[in-house]
Structure 1
Amino acid sequence: MSNYFIQTYTWNPWHNLAVEKYLSTRIKKGDVIFYLWQNDRTVVIGRNQNAIRECRARLLEEEGGCLARRTTGGGAVYHDLGNLCFTFLASPEVYNLEKQLKVVQAACRKFGVETRFSGRNDIITKDGFKFSGNAFSNTSQCSIQHGTLMVDVDVSQLGRYLTPSREKMKAKGVKSVQSRVCNLKELNTEVTTDAMRQALKESFEELYGSFEELDEKLLDNPLVKETYDLYSSWEWKFGKSPECETSYSRRFDWGEVEVCLKLNAMHISGITVFSDMLDVELPGLLEQLLAGRRYDMADIDFKKDLPLCSEEQKEKLQDVVKWLADPLRND
């Protein structure tokens, strides 16, 4: 039976989640690993969530952020460098959620912040404000609890990225539940992410006893790289999204267009176009162009993929595609 501690200072979510996956493969009987990490400008969605329902993913990426899909359930969360993530990885026979939560609570208590665990997998203040969300997974080898700690998050960005665009959507994915949130720094100005890292490390030792600190160099290995490539892929981030239906409308100089899409694995599996334009052929041409394409339109090549039609129709088709590909189209 051994206790281990490791922390990273790489702000990339795909790397950090790949590290978590790798650490889970190292767990032996009786082992516990406590892992601290941070992501910058990232939205992390749950395993079964619909990316476009939960956040403005394309706007996030246009502005230099990252979308990540974790392997656990739960809702969508926003991370920046004011947030600190923690993960407990344990052999199932020594996995102890109550004890693990006490590590977090003890660390908060070092700053005079009293907390409690709510019934919906959150850690909240005594006044009921959420500052930590948790999610879980279990295999025969390893049980995982990972969570967030809002230390000094830019909460203005939650609404910018987490609030879905104003789209008429019916989706089968799990919808996030909104909660009242607060930063720990609001309760004690001395709380920083570095100070909380140290407090968590101390609390882990106080509750679990001595531990071995793992060298970050061990993370430079083929398994981490392979998992990173998977987690950063479009297929993992978007293609795992459940089937959904959505529609958009806009008035162009030449007429109003409403595009109704059915999406499967974030590809257009069905499309219907309604319009009051005088050109009765254009809706059919647009349906022909978009059927089977990726939702972000990134696989459309105007030089190769436009159907046979007039130059005027080609210009209008390009207008519609560029509008649909614009992450701010509905804002």
Structure 2
Amino acid sequence: MLGQYLHGWRRLPSIGVAFYKPTARTYSTARNKVACYVSTINDAYTNLAIEEWLLRDTEPNQYILYLWRNTPCVVVGRNQNPFKECNLRFMQQHGIPLVRRRSGGGAVYHDMGNSIYTIYMPREEFSRKANAELVSRALQQLDIPAYVNERHDITVDGHKVSGSAYKIISARAYHHGTMLIDTDTQMLKGCLSKKYMNNDGIVSKGVESVPSPVTNLREYSYTIDHQQFCESVLSEFVDAYNDGLPIEPVVFNETNVHQLPEKVENTRKELQTWDWIWGQTPEFTHNVDHQFSWGAVRASIRSRHGMILEADLSTGSGDADQVTIISAIGVALEGCRYSQNAVMDAIEKIKIEIPGLINSGNQSIVNDVKEWLHSRL
């Protein structure tokens, strides 16, 4: 049923301009209470914007399945601290963008071997367990011995293949999750494994991810792919909510996505802004210290919404000039964005506000501190 829309990923039907006049709610009313949407777009910002639009603009009593996947990226929950949850240096080195979604939950790695499902329903009918079991049954259809654990993760042989999160508004709710089919697990570990991170000393008020051993469905099936997974989930979805009667999926592709309401593009743009990706970071403190040849330096930095609110830098050095310059760097860090470039921005501030403080006599100390903090922030 879904194969005609997914097969080959190039021969996809247009869904027609009429569908987009004016909102998804209009279209939903004209259809059954059950619908399926498939995105062949692989941009995380676009897919998350569509996901939010379907939540807000479809009928409250409608059951919807939305199927999609993205090119490589790391997606953190709305209330997470990416400085604590992600290996940002590794991501930068490999060109993997950071994305912040609108729902809660933990950090996940996306690539084209990782399928994503979103199940919408009326708020009063929402059940994480029921949705996870629906997807688990879909895997069992494909002879994969999946089951749901106590955290509502979908697992196989004790290894997680799908983590999930949810969002609830006044009359609607959705449950969305990833499905590791043939993802690059080395990249996943590089981005998210705690043992590869250099973030000791961060104490955050944000939601922390719960690490779990993971595996790909490919370990249990040579034939499983995105299309098979989508078809199987759709089959279970219509059995559960449409008495087994088939439904015709609506496809979003690069051609017709531009016909979506303006609010979708507005949301997409907002999800890419610094204010959303970094500015939503909850308050945290970062305490670090280092022993240099000329003395020890300790830094205690407090940040909220991606900005440094307080930075206390001190040194055990007995040299008055060293104490002064270290303290000045701490003061200048306040008001900077929390980033690798923060100390360079602070040094530029000092040069403007206190001319002559940074000179040839203390330049080596400034360079030491700059390189150290650049490696820790």
TM (norm. structure 2) is: 0.77
Aligned to 2:99: 68
Alignment gaps of 5+ in structure 2: 1-31
- CA change 1:321–1:150 in 2 (3 A) is same
Give the conservation status (yes or no) of the 8 Å contact 2:325–2:358. Answer: no
How many residues align? The count is 327
Q: Deviations over 1:237-290 (max 9, x none)?
A: 222222111123445566543322111112111111123554222112201321
Three-state SS of the structure 2 residue aligned to 1:226 is: helix
Aligned to 2:286: 246
1:90-239 matched pairs, under 5 angstroms:
90-92=121-123, 95=126, 97=128, 100-125=131-156, 127-162=157-192, 163=194, 164-207=197-240, 208=242, 209-216=245-252, 217-218=256-257, 220-239=260-279
TM (norm. structure 1) is: 0.87
Three-state SS of the structure 2 residue aligned to 1:280 is: helix
Post-superposition shift, 1:319?
A: 5.4
Aligned to 1:21: 52
Q: Distance in 2 between the 1:99 and 1:9 partners?
A: 27
- In the alignment, does 2:369 pair up with 1:320? yes
Aligned to 1:259: 299
Identity of aligned residues (%): 28
Give the conservation status (yes or no) of the 8 Å contact 1:36–1:87. Answer: yes
Higher mean alpha-carbon deviation, 155-164 vs 15-24, is at: 155-164
Q: Distance in 2 between the 1:90 and 1:214 partners?
A: 18
Q: Distance in 2 between the 1:230 and 1:321 partners?
A: 32
Post-superposition shift, 1:151?
A: 0.8
Post-superposition shift, 1:167?
A: 1.8
Aligned to 2:359: 311
Q: Distance in 1 between the 2:125 and 2:309 partners?
A: 46
Post-superposition shift, 1:28?
A: 0.8
Alignment gaps of 5+ in structure 1: none
Give the conservation status (yes or no) of the 8 Å contact 2:167–2:174. Answer: yes
Q: Distance in 1 between the 2:293 and 2:72 partners?
A: 37
Q: Distance in 1 between the 2:74 and 2:91 partners?
A: 8
- CA change 1:322–1:18 in 2 (3 A) is farther
Aligned to 1:6: 37
Post-superposition shift, 1:165?
A: 2.0
- CA change 1:256–1:10 in 2 (3 A) is farther
Three-state SS of the structure 1 residue aligned to 2:137 is: helix
Three-state SS of the structure 2 residue aligned to 1:6 is: strand
Report the structure number with the largest CA radius of gyration.
2
Give the conservation status (yes or no) of the 8 Å contact 1:136–1:144. Answer: yes
Moved over 6 A (4+): none
